[in-house]
Structures are given as structure tokens and as C-alpha cells.
Structure 1
């Protein structure tokens, strides 16, 4: 596991949002997740108008600011700048990382969604600060159809990448330990918290396992 820089603090445990999975209010779940140990909220909400996305991002920014938690906005550099987010997360259809860097500045985080070693290497060479690698396990909550990489492949990717690597996809409190054993720098979850009957308890249990692993 790599040593996290000051700017990447909080990436050890990330909640990625998807309001369509929530049976209760998204912001209420976020508050509970933060109470349980989430260090970064990644706002990933497709299908919202610019105004609606801005209002939601602004509300979540207020929540994260009060709790000293990072907020990363998926793809929308304009929204990230407008609400004073801590960074932007990019994908293969996004603007180039270098252009985004010129817009947000050097003190903001830029992440990238990778699904293979080749994509991870290209992202690292583009100057992003961290990558998410997915899917580790099979998951129904995705808008892409990729074969799960498995923990062995994640471990191989870790050996080749020098920036923080965050594992994503089907991770929950029952399998997080074997993912941590692969050497990843952080864990990102979606349904494990958003669809939990008790988001605070689910987040707490996963967070404790992350902390226990770091203390080994």
C-alpha cells in the first residue's frame, strides 16, 4: 500500500453516489456514511440538468465541508469549480487530464476510471492523481458490462502503477479483506452503503476493516 500524500488523504474510503439506488434521501445517506468513516464523496449523478446537479453538488459540498470530507465531481469540471469541490473524476469520454488540470489548478485532485492495466498506465502517464480500477467483482449496479478483474489482477496492476489505486465494483463488508490483501490504496463502494438498511453501520464495519488492515 502506497503512502498517501496530503492531497490524497481521504481516498482510502470513497462513497460513489447513485441516487437511483437509494430508497431514502441521498444526502441523508451521505451524512450517515460520513459518520461511519467515509473520507471522500464522489458525486456521480447522470441524467440531471445542470441546475439540478449544481444544487445537489452545493448541498453535498456544505455537508462535506462541515465534516472535513472531500467532494469529487464526476466529469463536470464546471460544477466542481462552481461549488469549490476538491477535484474531478474523469472517464474515457471526458476531457483530457491536462486540459482539466489547467482549469482546476494544481491543488485539486484528478481521478480516472480505469478497467485494465493498459488504461491505468495511460491514466498515470496523463498526470492524474489517482485511479479507480473496476470491476473487482461482479455487480448488478453498473452501466457497463465488463468481466470482473478479480483480486489477483488487481494485485498485478498495483505492482505497475505508482499513483494511488482505488478498488471498485461489488465490494462489501464480506469481501473487503481480500481486496485489501491485494495491496490497493483505497476502497470505493456504491450499493454496499446506498442500499444498506443502515448506511452508518455498513460504512463503519468496512471502515474498521480498512483501519485494521493499515495497522497490521
Structure 2
């Protein structure tokens, strides 16, 4: 069964951000990665504290700020690859994810304790304007190179998810969705449409 992961982007959110996150947490998303990379550490701490109140810690994965995660007692972290390579205190976390952009990155991540990886960008996306998608062959190569869960990221919606249905399920765990969930009102429908395409 392939999973859907929500990656937040407050600047893209239509409506109240905390309310949106609360509603997303009640859908069938596997988890929510609070990826607000333009915030300072203090701003991120305040937001993460508020998000924890509305959706609980079970589905929440913090991004980049390891000290914030430790302060809030959240033992799941997602790191940019450069930060993942520098992470010293891995014992603070039960789940450590990282973003990869090559099979070499993926292999390194697995060897160095990543619990899962996100691979992208698979399709063109407004979040990375002008950057061509790496495509399904890239995703398949990443999945074949490791033995940990791999999530596709970049330009994912129900239409593009159709193209992922043929990816060999060896380690392909699902997709990460950002803009679609930040901007949609029909959250449960969008999540289920994607999951249906990936079945």
C-alpha cells in the first residue's frame, strides 16, 4: 500500500494554516513534514509548538531544526541532505528522513542510518520553477539502489500519480504532496484520489 505524506508550505496555504494542518492530520496522510525553511529557528519553534497542539505529535515530522525537535520531544526529523551528512546525535531520533537527488545520495543515506528518503523532483513543480523533473526512471533507479522506503516528491497530484503506478514496488513507499494540499479545500478527496491511483 502506497502512502501519502503532506509537506507543509505556509506561504502557499489558502486559509488559516493551523486549521489546514489540523484538517490534513485527520485525513489518511501517513505523516506531516513541517517544512518551513524560510523561518528562523525561534519562529519555527513557535510554529511547531502550535502545530503540535492542533495535530498531536504522532503524525508530525519536524524539518531541519534538530534542537527544536529535541525541545518539543518530537523524535522524528527530516533533514536536507547536507544537514543529514552532518548530523551527530542520531540517538535523539527514532525516525530520520532526508531528501536525495541522486542514487549516490540515496546509497549514502541508507548506509548512514536514514529511516526513509524522499527522491525528487520527479515532475516539474511550481516550487522549483524552471527545474525539469527527473522522471520515473530516476525514481525507479533510486528505489532499486536501496532497501529503505522511498517517497517521490515534486509535482505530485492525482494525474501525475497515475504515472507512478508502474514503479516497481521494491521500496517505493508513496508520495509527498505540498502545493496541492496547501491549496485544496477537498483534502480527504485529494488524498484518496492519489492513493487510488497508486494502488
Taking structure 1 as the reference length, what is the TM-score of the superposition?
0.81
Kept in 1: contact 2:25–2:59 (CA 8 A): no
State how 1:52-71 maps to structure 2 within 5 Å. Answer: 52-65=43-56, 69-71=58-60
Shift of the alpha carbon at 1:146?
A: 4.3
- Which residue is equivalent to 1:84? 73
Query: Cα RMSD (Å) of the superposition?
Result: 2.2
Residue 203 (str. 1) matches residue 191 (str. 2): yes
- C-alpha separation in 2, matches of 1:180 and 1:89: 25
- C-alpha separation in 2, matches of 1:119 and 1:95: 11
Equivalent pairs counted in the alignment come to 196
Residue 132 (str. 1) matches residue 118 (str. 2): yes
Shift of the alpha carbon at 1:14?
A: 0.9
Counterparts in 2 of 1:170 and 1:32: CA distance versus 1, 3 Å: same
Kept in 2: contact 1:38–1:207 (CA 8 A): no
Shift of the alpha carbon at 1:202?
A: 1.6
Q: Tell me the alpha carbon deviations over residues 130-181 of structure 1, each in whole angstroms, 9 at most, x when there is no partner.
A: 10000010001138x6431111221122111101101100010112132242
- C-alpha separation in 1, matches of 2:36 and 2:89: 19
Kept in 1: contact 2:34–2:62 (CA 8 A): yes
**SS at structure 2 position matched to 1:42:** strand
| Residue in structure 1 matching 2:161, options 176, 182, 189 | 176
Shift of the alpha carbon at 1:60?
A: 1.6
State how 1:1-216 maps to structure 2 within 5 Å. Answer: 12-65=3-56, 69-94=58-83, 96=85, 99-102=88-91, 104-105=92-93, 108-142=94-128, 146-182=131-167, 183=169, 184-210=172-198, 213=199
Kept in 2: contact 1:36–1:202 (CA 8 A): no
Taking structure 2 as the reference length, what is the TM-score of the superposition?
0.88
- Unaligned runs of at least 5 residues, structure 1: 2-10
